[in-house]
Amino acid sequence: MSKLTELSAWQALEDHYYTMQDTHLRDLFAADPTRGEKMSAEGAGLYLDYSKHRVTDETLKLLLALAEEVGVAQKRDAMFAGEKINITEKRAVLHTALRAPRDAVVMVDGKNVVPEVHEVLDRMAAFADEIRSGKWLGHTGQPIKNIVNIGIGGSDLGPVMAYEGLKHYAQRDLTVRFVSNVDGTDLAEKTRDLDPAQTLFIVSSKTFTTQETMTNARSARQWLLGSLKDDAAVARHFVAVSTNAAEVTKFGINTANMFGFWDWVGGRYSMDSAIGLSLMIAVGPDHYRALLAGFHEMDEHFRTAPASRNLPMLLGLLGVWYNNFFGAETVAILPYDQYLAYFSAYLQQLDMESNGKHVTLDNETVDYQTGPVIWGQPGTNGQHAFYQLIHQGTKLIPCDFIGFCQTLNPMAPHHDLLMANVFAQTEALAFGKTLEQVLADGVDPQIAPHRVFGGNRPTSTILADKLTPHILGALIALYEHKVFVQGVIWDINSFDQWGVELGKVLAGKIAPELQSEGEPELKHDSSTNTLIKRYRARRA
């Protein structure tokens, strides 16, 4: 048994699970007509309905006791205070400082980092304004009309998600694109209709050594110079976002055109650092600052709200309940807003890279499940695709439904229909349809079992008034902190990502074997050797 599973709160939850495993949401709702109002919490403009979860007051009490016993609040305070909680990289974890107000004080190694954060934000704002107003001219004297962010992982997914999320607020005469894949198709397709003389590349890379990003950046430079034919053009068409000034200079970008951040910002937690420059150019500094204020409001909620009404705490604990006691393997994230098309993909990295870990902070191999598989798509599209399995399949898939009371594109009756689907899905998932109800509908008894919905499928519903920059910030921070709560409970380091290393190292060895002139001596396993040989023999 591990440290976690030996805890009295954990064992109490195990016992409690046996009393709860067959309890149906139908009965829980029937027993308490006020359940739907009672089991809700609010913070930073978000309303969370968690009544359609397979929990009682007792379950919540035990989950909160678990949070207490593992010290979630103390660990949270240590994170906010800049303690080096990322122990394998010996780093503080301070994405919360990126959205701290100007007069806040956040100390790292004896220094208040907030003034530097705002200095970079101010430089970003000045640069964004120059681009947006057409004052920043390209090498041939034309204003910039196209922004291409080159980055990958944490240097791509956040900006692309938030750009799509806030497109409604974007300056529409600017074209903003994101290139991430080392597959040349990505760069080729994203630049094919752009005029180099009007295009700005933002090379976003914390390390400025990432293979995909640097390969794309070099090819982008060639594309630009192929047309503008003057090395001096790079200075007007390339800026960098990085922590690595030396590599930025080596690439040929003047550090005057570099926007920095710090080693205490993890890649997947960096979208509100200078990594968000493309987004700030698109939506403007004021909307960007509103986004940061939303993040900060949720930070404050997480820091100060009582655990029983603390949104990230509740979402985190409910996730642990299903992951570790019901054996649920995945969580579906289902935003009912077209602008949030990339939200699930973003959360996939945030959650799976953070909590996809197998050893504890004390180097013990865990004997319990850690992070779930995160997936999803915006509604209502998913309803016509994979919801069948969630409703009637054999797997338990807790879902987060996210919806807004007001649409940004009023076009009756669309929004009412969209939201009717949110409420209908969570109702159907919770209560299902019994055999008796199916037969009462006059369905042929021969096929009636196929029409039965078991129900008892848990969902959270997160509602906000309107998708604004502020609300998007709060929503992202909600999930950042949910992931944090779960990482603390599972006693893992949510802030490193060693799991991405091995593949990178092996790709570094294989690339020269694909590129070499003569027949290379291959020393891999027989499968890898055969695949490499077949590729070499057949490529054009």
Q: Which residues participate in catalysis according to the annotation? A: 353, 384, 504
Q: Is 51 in the site for ligand G6Q (CB under 6 A)?
A: no
What span, in angstroms and rounded, lies between the C-alpha atoms of 347 and 479?
8
379 touches ligand G6Q (CB under 6 A): no
Decide the pairing of beta strands 146-150 and 111-112.
unpaired
Q: Rule CB under 6 A: is residue 267 a binding residue for ligand G6Q?
A: yes
Residue number, 111 or 358, with CB nearest to ligand G6Q: 358
In angstroms, give the least distance from the CB of 343 to ligand G6Q.
17
Report the residue from 186, 297, 299, 353 that binds ligand G6Q according to the rule CB under 6 A.
353
Please count the residues of this chain forming the interface with ligand G6Q, following the rule CB under 6 A.
14
Which is nearest to 297 in space by CA: 153, 75, 170, 464?
464
Minimum separation from the CB atom of position 321 to ligand G6Q (A): 27
Q: Is 371 in the site for ligand G6Q (CB under 6 A)?
A: no
What minimum distance in Å lies between the beta carbon of 207 and ligand G6Q? 3
Options 23-31, 60-68, 158-166, 264-272: segment touching ligand G6Q (CB under 6 A): 264-272
Which single residue brings its beta carbon nearest to ligand G6Q? 153
Cα torsion angle, 509, 514, 516, 519, sign: positive
Q: Considering the complex, what minimum distance in angstroms separates the CB of residue 264 from ligand G6Q?
A: 13
Q: Where are the beta strands (DSSP E) in 30-76?
A: 40-43, 46-49
Residue 186 as a binder of ligand G6Q (CB under 6 A): the answer is: no
Strand partners, 46: 43
**Is position 516 an interface residue for ligand G6Q (rule: CB under 6 A)?**
no
- Closest approach, Cβ 107 to ligand G6Q, in A, equals 24
Q: Which of 165, 266, 285, 379 binds ligand G6Q (CB under 6 A)?
A: 266
Residue 281 near residue 135, CB atoms below 8 Å: no
158 near 276, Cβ under 8 Å? Answer: yes
Q: Dump the DSSP string for 164-232.
A: HHTGGGS-TTSEEEEE--SSHHHHHHHHTT--GGGEEEEEE-SSS--HHHHHHHHHHHHHHHHHH--GG
Q: CB neighbours of 291 closer than 8 A, spacing ≥ 6?
A: 162, 166, 272, 279, 283, 469, 470, 472, 473
Among 152, 274, 438, 483, binds ligand G6Q (CB under 6 A): 152
User: To the nearest whole angstrom, how small is the minimum distance from the Cβ of residue 305 to ligand G6Q?
Assistant: 27
Measured between alpha carbons, how far is 366 from 489 in angstroms, rounded to an integer?
12
List the interface residues with ligand G6Q, window 457-496 (CB under 6 A). Answer: none
Q: Which range binds ligand G6Q by CB under 6 A, 152-160, 447-455, 461-469, 514-522?
A: 152-160
**Residue 392 C-alpha from the chain's centroid:** 28
Per-residue binding string, ligand G6Q, 194-213, x by CB under 6 A, is: -----------xxx--x--x
Q: Is 260 in the site for ligand G6Q (CB under 6 A)?
A: no
The DSSP 8-state label assigned to residue 142 in this structure reads P
Cβ 489 vs Cβ 67: under 8 Å: yes
Amino acid (1-letter code) at residue 67: A
Among 51, 155, 425, 486, binds ligand G6Q (CB under 6 A): 155
Which residues would be at the binding site for ligand G6Q (CB under 6 A)?
Answer: 152-155, 205-207, 210, 213, 266-268, 353, 497
